[in-house]
């Protein structure tokens, strides 16, 4: 079971290993290794798209709670008046629309890890209630007076400057210090562009596993991608890989084949309009000329790379396939925020079929 789990989670582990070429990512890996074995609160900070949830998942997978649920909640995506019910659950009739009793994310994460993403977007009244849970490890469902105790590890993340928010009065100082026990800063992709090629390989392998044909990249294209500023960080890189796999399946990508914003070779923005116009004209002229570097293959992913190797000691195939099924169901439920109907659509199953499989496999 544990061996199967490690093989199935290879995607997350591969990200960790392949991005360790840069010093900043090696430092990040060391911090994750140090804190994973403890139940310490961790505040993960970094720009949007930099991989904060991946860091949270790596901490969970390396912790003693790895066998239990990892439950993510995007505090910025849930309306403030619904977040309390989402986190703590509610009783039937607690409010209009509460037609049945519902468990909250704290209960779903019991024994495991609750990841509070974008915690800086949480309202002040909700911050007070969260602080109480962090201090006393108990809560009540909406509409109930029964106190429930919880055994959950909390990981939080934000792209906001919480110190500034504390000074402005939009984030509670006591909650900030409660969360900021072990801060981890996830670097922006522009700070470790030497990892671009490794990350591209990871994303292309995932696309190949989904049946898509990924392109090959020339030396000139790779040079352009490594000097690009990546304002959208790792998420922008992943989206680019999918886009190019659709527009250039199996083809060699030269610098001219990249979207326009990636073809500036990292030139800085000039304030003088005339100078900028001259620069754009020069770049257009240069890009129109094919280069030998446009025909050299610098990066490609073989479909064979995405197939898991057969362990030397053999494998329990039935158990492995069951674990794969369980993992994909859990991932679909996570991506669809626990909505079974949408998760079933994502998996190509009928809702009733998925519900039966969830019951059989013990997936909440």
**Structural domains in the chain?**
7-187 (3.40.50.300), 190-306 (1.10.8.60), 317-361 (1.10.10.60)
pLDDT digits (tens, 9 = 90+) for 74-131: 999 998 888 999 999 888 877 877 778 889 999 999 999 999 999 999 999 999 999 9
Adjacent-strand bridge partners of 157 = 44
> What is d(CA 130, CA 88) in angstroms, rounded to the nearest whole number?
10
The token duo for 259 is 């979207």
Strands 252-253 vs 182-185: parallel, antiparallel or unpaired: unpaired
Whether the pTM exceeds 0.85: the reply is: no
- Residues sharing a CB contact under 8 Å with residue 173, sequence separation 6 or more, in sequence order: 166
> What is d(CA 342, CA 93) in angstroms, rounded to the nearest whole number?
25
pLDDT digits (tens, 9 = 90+) for 311-358: 667 778 888 788 888 888 888 887 788 888 988 998 999 999 998 888
> What is d(CA 142, CA 144) in angstroms, rounded to the nearest whole number?
6
Residue 157's SS3 state is strand
Residue in the block written with tokens 């570097």: 293
Adjacent-strand bridge partners of 139 = 148
Q: Which parts of 98-254 fold into alpha helices (H)?
A: 105-108, 124-136, 162-168, 173-179, 196-209, 219-227, 233-247
């Amino acid at each position: 079971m544990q061996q199967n789990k490690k093989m199935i989670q290879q995607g997350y582990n591969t990200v960790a290993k392949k991005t360790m070429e840069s010093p900043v990512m090696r430092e990040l890996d060391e911090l994750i290794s140090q804190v994973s074995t403890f139940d310490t609160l961790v505040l993960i900070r970094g720009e949007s798209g930099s991989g904060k949830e991946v860091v949270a998942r790596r901490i969970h997978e390396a912790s003693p709670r790895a066998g239990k649920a990892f439950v993510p909640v995007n505090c910025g995506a849930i309306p403030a008046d619904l977040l309390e019910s989402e986190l703590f659950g509610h009783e039937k009739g607690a409010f209009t629309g509460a037609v049945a009793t519902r468990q909250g994310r704290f209960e779903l994460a019991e024994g495991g890890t609750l990841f509070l993403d974008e915690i800086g977007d949480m309202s002040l009244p909700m911050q007070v209630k969260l602080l109480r849970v962090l201090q006393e490890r108990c809560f009540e469902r909406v509409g109930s007076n029964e106190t429930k105790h919880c055994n959950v590890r909390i990981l939080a993340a934000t792209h906001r400057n919480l110190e500034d928010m504390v000074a402005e009065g939009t984030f509670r100082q006591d909650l900030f210090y409660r969360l900021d026990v072990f801060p981890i800063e996830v670097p922006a992709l522009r700070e470790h562009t030497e990892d671009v090629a490794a990350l591209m390989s990871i994303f292309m392998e995932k696309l190949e596993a989904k049946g898509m044909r990924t392109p090959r990249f020339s030396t000139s294209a790779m040079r352009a991608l490594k000097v690009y500023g990546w304002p959208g960080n790792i998420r922008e890189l992943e989206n680019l890989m999918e886009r190019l796999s659709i527009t250039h399946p199996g083809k060699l990508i030269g610098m001219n084949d990249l979207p326009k914003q990636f073809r500036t070779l990292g030139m800085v923005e000039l304030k003088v309009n005339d100078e900028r116009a001259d620069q754009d004209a020069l770049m257009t002229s240069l890009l129109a000329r094919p280069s030998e570097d446009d025909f050299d293959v610098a990066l490609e992913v073989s479909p064979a790379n995405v197939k898991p190797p057969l362990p030397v000691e053999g494998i329990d195939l039935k158990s492995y396939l069951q674990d794969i099924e369980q993992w994909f169901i859990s991932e679909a439920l996570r991506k669809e925020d626990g909505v079974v109907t949408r998760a079933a659509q994502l998996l190509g199953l009928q809702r009733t079929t998925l519900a039966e499989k969830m019951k059989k496999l013990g997936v909440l």
